[in-house]
Amino acid sequence: MQDEQTAHYPSLRGARVLVTGGATGLGADFVRAFVAQGAHVGFLDIDATAGTALAAELGAQTVFRPCDLRDLEGLPDAIAELAGQLGPFTVLLNNAARDDRHDLADLTPAYWRDCLATNLSHHVFAAQAVAPGMTAAGGGSIINMGSISWMRGRPGMLGYTTSKAAISGMTRSMAAELGPQGIRVNSVVPGAVLTERQAKLWLTPEKNAEFLALQALKFRLEPHHITPMALFLASQASVGCTGQNFIVDAGLTLN
């Protein structure tokens, strides 16, 4: 995260924020960014080692709980445990996902169900779990992480793109349902973000050049380019925004 790119929001100081998939990559950048704003952050992740290390690094403002977000029956208990330590959450950032590659011909019903569980279903049930506390607090902000991959019709990742397309509709319906309780629901839709995972698995000089050629802005997006949008949507600076997709893609979807 780069401080010179990040506004400071008084409304986030003391806020109670829940981040899913917060142990590594973009999620870890979100956790650090909210802590820097003075928020109290609880985060969930299947990677217990990385999550424990990040919580130790950031100190008393963070609480980590290992959790497999695909376990929808266990998810409410995990969230309740964190809320018991921090207080009811007023911000939820549904971040966890995996953009694994697969061909249509290789899909099995079990793998398909796992794709949806990993990338979509937990968004709904995490929101369900935090909504009563947000309502009691007079409102809150739910931020769902989308992806431009479905807008571009990317092949080889059908489970991921289907899930991310569904997040757009889910966000709008949820915004309409929760709006009367003062709860705003939006999605952040990143472009091609260069995380450690992306660099390790798929980055090549040719792929890097391809993204730069397609983007209107000629630099590779990194997590610190996405974080400021999430902070804005979590804060009272965005009090009039709900049911919207906020694209941060360096102009990739212009092509």
Q: Which residues of 102-117 are buried (b: 16+ CB within 10 A; e: fewer)?
A: beeeeeeeeeeeebbb
Mean pLDDT value across residues 101-121: 94
**pLDDT of 133 higher than 60:** yes
Question: What integer pLDDT is reported at residue 211 of this predicted model?
Answer: 85
Of the CA atoms within 13 Å of residue 205, those in its CB half-sphere come to: 0
If pLDDT is split at 50, 70 and 90, which confidence band does 5 have? Answer: low
Cα Rg, the chain, nearest whole Å:
17
pLDDT at 40 over 90: yes
Q: Looking at residues 74-82, what average pLDDT do you find?
A: 98
Q: What is the mean pLDDT of residues 57-61?
A: 96
**Per the structure, how many domains does the chain have?**
1
Indicate the residue type of 142. I
Examine the pLDDT at 247 and tell me if it is beyond 80: yes
pLDDT class of 4 with cuts at 50, 70, 90: low
Task: Tell me which of 30, 34, 160, 246 is the catalytic residue.
Answer: 160
Which among 45, 64, 66 has a CA at the least distance from the CA of 56?
A: 64
Closest to 97 in 3D by CA, of 31, 49, 163: 163
User: Where in the sequence is the domain holding 56, given as residue range(s)?
Assistant: 3-254
- Binned at pLDDT 50, 70 and 90, residue 2 comes out as very low
Residue 99 has a pLDDT of 85
Q: Is 111 a catalytic residue?
A: no
Rounded mean pLDDT of 37-52? 98
**CATH number, domain with residue 205:** 3.40.50.720
Query: pLDDT category, 202, cuts 50, 70, 90?
Result: low
